[in-house]
Amino acid sequence: MARLKLGVLISGRGSNLQSLIEACAEADYPAEIVLAISNEPEAPGLERARRAGIRAEIVDHRDFSGREAFERALDRALAGADAGLVCLAGFMRLLTPWFVERWNDRLINIHPSLLPAFPGLDTHARALAAGVRIAGCTVHFVRAEMDRGPIVVQAAVAVEDGDDAAGLAARVLAAEHRCLPLAVRLIAEGRVRVAGERCEIAGAAEPPPPLISPSPSGCG
């Protein structure tokens, strides 16, 4: 079966891009990265792509008169590379309804919280301030409203007493690196159906036991 062609949009470090690069290197993985684009010329993720032999382009939003012109350039590059699915992997620009509509149900985002809780920036600090005992991450189809859309995969991560935002972010990031390749795999295998605001996943295994935080073992 033909592999799903991915366009990956980044703005920085690119560790989620790296997780896709590594997944795509597996012989039986049903997707391949055809293009990585950064809106930030200095994004370290660009180098990760180039090292892996992936075409990496800079589309700097500052070079355009407005959002639409910037997004038209993104769209041209993605369509030109024949991308079938676009992954926002730490892409820190808001997209207009025009772009979101154009890539409807072919555009996913990874966000470091259990959406719909804590959309936007500073998610870990806000989760800690709110005192949640379980944090996590979400891969979802993108809709016009920021950090909203049908959820494909989520992972839950227990918050530990004494956690700071950096420590929590690191453990959530490790979960992100598993969730994004999993979501892409499920979509590429045709197992994800968007039904209204929800995704139905065909052939999912038995759900794991609940994550309870703090762990009941040792709590008597």
Give the binding site for ligand GAR (CB under 6 A).
10, 12-16, 45, 89-90, 110-112, 147, 173, 176
Q: Is the dihedral of CA 43, 7, 61, 179 positive or negative?
A: negative
177 is catalytic: no
Q: Which of 111, 124, 140, 177 is catalytic?
A: 111
Residue 157: its H or E element: strand 151-158
Block residue for tokens 């992936």:
54
- Looking at beta carbons, which residue is closest to ligand GAR? 90
Contact 32, 6 (CB under 8 A): yes
Q: Which is nearer to ligand GAR, 94 or 212 (CB)?
A: 94
- Strand duo 107-111 + 134-141: pairing: antiparallel
Q: How far is it between the farthest Cα atoms of the chain?
A: 62
- Minimal distance, residue 15 CB to ligand GAR, in Å: 3
Identify residue 128 by its one-letter amino acid code: L
Q: Which is nearer to ligand GAR, 45 or 150 (CB)?
A: 45
- Minimal distance, residue 216 CB to ligand GAR, in Å: 29
- Minimal distance, residue 153 CB to ligand GAR, in Å: 13
**Which residues sit opposite 141 in a β-bridge?**
108
Coil vs helix vs strand at 214: coil
Q: Which is nearer to ligand GAR, 11 or 185 (CB)?
A: 11
Contact 31, 83 (CB under 8 A): no
- Minimal distance, residue 46 CB to ligand GAR, in Å: 11
Distance of CA 89 to the CA centre of its chain: 5
Annotated catalytic residues are: 111
